[in-house]
Chain A
Amino acid sequence: MEKFTTLESTAIPLPIENIDTDQIIPARFLKATNKAGFGDNVFRDWRFHKDGTANESFVLNDSTYSGSVLIAGNNFGCGSSREHAAWALVGYGFKVVISSFFADIFKGNALNNGLLPIQVSEGFLKELMNHIQSNPDAEVTVDLENQLLSTPVGDITFDINPYKKTCLINGYDDIDFLVSKLDKIRAFEALIN
């Protein structure tokens, strides 16, 4: 997993609520056996018409907006547990998603792939969304060590589990940790059997 420490970037506003993982990556693209290439199909059916031509009205096709921060409406990532959604966002180049609420499984999948979900209040999200929509060149800064999100509409601190924060900063994942616990796990198995 790639390390995450700080980020300074412009942002892409996507003011839609309840964006489910089927929208982030439709099921017909889940047939790969590796993690590569999902970025090409992120938000596929919003980005492209059925004939394959670009939907110019979708924000990812609007050259006004760019950056590795996605600002999305409430309850982002609901629905299917497919980690392909996180792979698709990371593959496209996103490093941070800001929303007022994240679905559980998506949040875990994002953190396991170096994609930082930052939860902010609904009021803050609305203000930030509006500002970025009318000021596409505005930048936001993320400082993970200090859990600080700096934006043109204000600076806030965000929550993250301390263990997950350490993992992101160092590029570790839970497999390393769990494998280090195998003796304890074996002892537990002996106890329950």
Chain B
Amino acid sequence: MGKTLFDKVWDAHVVDTLEDGLQVLYIDKHLIHEVTSPQAFEELRKRNISIARPDKIVATADHNTPTVDQHLPVKDELSRNQLNQLAENCKLNNIPLFGLGHENNGIVHVIAPELGITQPGMTMVCGDSHTSTHGAFGTIAFGIGTSQVAQVFASQCLLLQKPKKLRVNVNGKLKSGVLPKDVILYVISKLGTNSGTGYFCEYAGSVFEDMSMEGRMTVCNMSIEMGARGGMIAPDETTFEYIKGRDFAPKGEEFDQKVAYWKSLKTDADATFDQEYWFDAEDIQPMITYGTNPGMGIKITENIPELDDASFEKSLKYMNFRKGASLVNQPINYVFIGSCTNSRIEDFRVAATFVKGKQKATNVTAWLVPGSQRVAKQIKDEGLQSIFEEAGFQIRQPGCSACLAMNDDKIPEGEYCVSTSNRNFEGRQGQGSRTLLASPLVAAATAIEGKIVDITQN
């Protein structure tokens, strides 16, 4: 029987298989950040175990970092302590760190691909559930807890049960104004937030084949929001072209050899999946969420569903929305374009296309937070910065920012925020904040209009 893309990469990394089916899986690349690593370093210190392969670890500071005045000492004492601890742990263990202010600094899932660290066929982990992002390159990439961070430190391996296999197919041509974010929000709204639990997902079909790497990353990023540990897309010419010439990418003959191998990373025609779904690109429209989990999404033109369910009602109550209501014309005071889902150059390009020559609505506070120093530089070099600034937007410095509001970028209680991030959980963007997930295009349009608009009419 044929193998899936997932099988091919997984099976090539199995060190050992135990009697009860658990497998020792070798990890090629381990990304770490300040929030989920300190307890893992501490665990190894307590046990007097050294880090097995510091050369396979890359560290960045992103979760709690401020997005203004990064050249100054971090004001918040606890955040500063965590950042110092990361720097100290990296220094002690010879781990490369792209700390605050470093030209390679940024959100962990933005910098690893843009530096060429992420490559097809790898296994990658990070103490962050959106590690699934890297699956866009045909890697097995998934989030882990801090105990597992310590396990990888100690052995460069994890002890795992091989997940089941799921494939999501989307074929056809996306309508104008429908972005990769809409595709994944649509899929999750149809399948629900736990449909992928226990599975590793492959995205297949012409929609993903036609997508840029940035778009594929947006899709794979949100795999965890349907419960899947990871999602992956078979590498192709778009992938190879993206990787070529990046700082940590293989060069010359080595690159060509790698590409020859990467080309074999495709699901065989006779391979089977435990679960499979099909969608039609024509059915997808710009999406927005109305509730408190990423599965609670609708097309902007649709009304909020009318369900009789206590958890659903609790969610609507939190959002202060009514069953059956439309979100079009809903006033919005905050817009956030950023996060590991949508803070790459392409996201800012599409937002700038809409914003150019317009003015931000006066009621809106709009934060644009690039995913990395390099994206920030591109925004400037491509002339997007002046478009945004002329329109009244504020471009901040890179970091996770208002996606999880660990720093000062918090949405006030009771306020709505149209956000390009990945989670609309209660209080995710600040205590009492209300998040509506959408694409960078919908977010930009919201900022200009000061309310939710049906962009399909433009």
Residues of A within 8 A of B (CB): 15-18, 20, 22-23, 26-28, 30-35, 45, 50, 73-75, 78-84, 86, 101-105, 108-109, 112-113, 161-163, 173-175, 177-179, 181-182, 184-185, 188-189, 192
Q: List 7 A-B contacts (CB under 8 A).
A: A26-B431, A50-B432, A163-B22, A177-B159, A179-B154, A181-B155, A185-B156
Tell me how many residue pairs across A and B have CB atoms closer than 8 Å: 176
Q: Which residues of chain A have C-beta atoms less than 8 A from B18's C-beta?
A: 163
Taking a contact as CB atoms under 8 Å apart, the answer to whether A15 and B310 are in contact is yes
A185 touching B26, Cβ below 8 Å: yes
Q: Decide: B427 and A18 in contact? CB cutoff 8 A.
A: no
Q: Which 6 A-B pairs have the closest CB atoms?
A: A31-B78, A83-B145, A178-B155, A112-B147, A109-B145, A33-B38
Contacts of A179 in B (CB 8 A): 49, 154-155
Question: Which of A74, A80, A101, A174 is the one whose CB lies under 8 Å from B147?
Answer: A174
Which of B192-200, B236-244, B271-279, B280-288 forms contacts with chain A?
Answer: B192-200
B20 touches A161 (CB 8 A): yes
Chain A residues contacting B154 (CB-CB under 8 Å) are 175, 178-179
Interface residues on B, range: 35 or more
B20 is contacted by which of A32, A74, A163, A181 (Cβ under 8 Å)?
A163
Q: How far is the CA of A32 from the CA of B79 in the complex (A)?
A: 9
A26 and B430 alpha carbons, distance in the complex (Å) = 9
User: Residues of B with Cβ closer than 8 Å to A?
Assistant: 15-16, 18, 20, 22, 24, 26, 35-36, 38-39, 42-43, 47, 49, 52, 63-64, 76, 78-79, 81-82, 85, 127-129, 143-148, 150-151, 154-159, 161, 163, 193-194, 197-198, 224, 227, 229, 293, 310-311, 314, 404-406, 413, 423, 425-428, 431-432
A45 close to B427 (CB less than 8 A): yes
CB distance from B147 to the nearest CB of A (A): 4
| CA gap between A46 and B24 in the complex, in Å | 39
CB neighbours (8 Å) of B129 from chain A are 79-81, 105
| Contact among B39, B127, B159, B406 for A27, CB-based, below 8 A | B406
